[in-house]
Structure 1
Amino acid sequence: MGTSDVFSIILALVGTVGVIVLTYFGSRWYVNQFLKKTGSGGQHIKVVERLIVGKNGSIIIIDIQGNQYLVGVTENSIQILTELEKPITFQKKQDTSKESFLSMVKSFSQKEKQHEKND
């Protein structure tokens, strides 16, 4: 294999990784723009938490200007189950940065090492 063959393989690899990275950041940007246009997080109504309880059902805690409600949602209906007496605080979304990804990879590799030791 010649030097030019190795160089062309490395160049193709770098190009492929570049396309993957651009696609990732482009899709994140597109989703953020889409969410802003659809108004998923309104000014007066916020989803505090959601729990999927079945194939087609979930329980949602929503906040409407400080009043919180427990709502049952299925394919066919939406019902207010109760108004919460004690409000639940909003949780910030986890930071999906390079550091959190790196910590996930490290924890996965540690679990694999422990699994290999046990076998």
Structure 2
Amino acid sequence: MDTLLLVLRVGLSLGVVVVLLWMVQKRWSKGSRAGAEADLAVVSRRSVGQKASVVVVDADGRRFLLGVTEHSINVLHDAPAPIPVDEPAFDESMRAAGMGPRGMDDAGSRALRARHHRPRQEALSGSILSPKTWQQAGAAVRKGLNL
């Protein structure tokens, strides 16, 4: 009977913690959604000192070079954002020449893609909210209890 009460208490505590984490995540994500509507992308960042960095940002069709310190942000340079290169057209022209996208033959290109291929991960992969995590935990408990 004591074991059952202990398991129920632990389960209830874990449930409360999960609900609280979910509520905190929802509150924080609301603030970031307003900024997500703007067309803004950090292209690159380089530290130039302990508390200073240079950042390249694309915003609304413009590219900005920003100097960022602990107390200020200064625009160092701005220009039109570069037009993205149509990579599939480049890959097709390389294949037409008998070469892969990186200048190697098709067999080498396939081997390179196979080596660097990673299976698509879910957004919650490895999280306590992931169903797969709970399935693995259940399997470990069953194995420990020899069920």
Within-5 A mapping of 1:30-45: 30-36=27-33, 39-41=34-36, 43=38
C-alpha distance in structure 2 between counterparts of 1:96 and 1:58, whole Å = 33
Is 1:60 equivalent to 2:55 in the alignment?
A: yes
CA distance in 2 between partners of 1:68 and 1:76 (Å): 22
Residue type of the partner of 2:123?
Answer: S
5+ residue gaps, structure 2: 85-120, 134-147
Match of 1:13 in 2: 10
Number of aligned residue pairs: give it: 92
Letter aligned with residue 97 of structure 1: A
- How much identity, in percent, do the aligned residues show? 22
The alpha carbon displacement at 1:18 in A equals 0.6
Q: Structure 1 CA distance, aligned partners of 2:126 and 2:82?
A: 29
Q: CA RMSD for the aligned pairs? A: 3.3
Runs (4+) off by over 4 Å: none
Task: Specify the SS of the correspondent of 1:98.
Answer: coil
* Corresponding residue number in structure 1 for 2:99: none
- TM-score, with length taken from structure 1: 0.57
| C-alpha contact 2:57 2:63 (8 A) present in aligned 1 | yes
Partner of 1:97: 123
Structure 1 unmatched ranges of 5 or more: 90-94, 106-119
Instruction: Give 1:112's aligned residue.
Output: none
SS at match of 1:61: strand
Q: Which has the higher contact order (CA 8 A, sep 6+)?
A: 1
Normalised by the length of structure 2, the TM-score is 0.48
Secondary structure in structure 1 of the residue aligned to 2:63: strand
Matched, 1:46 2:40: yes
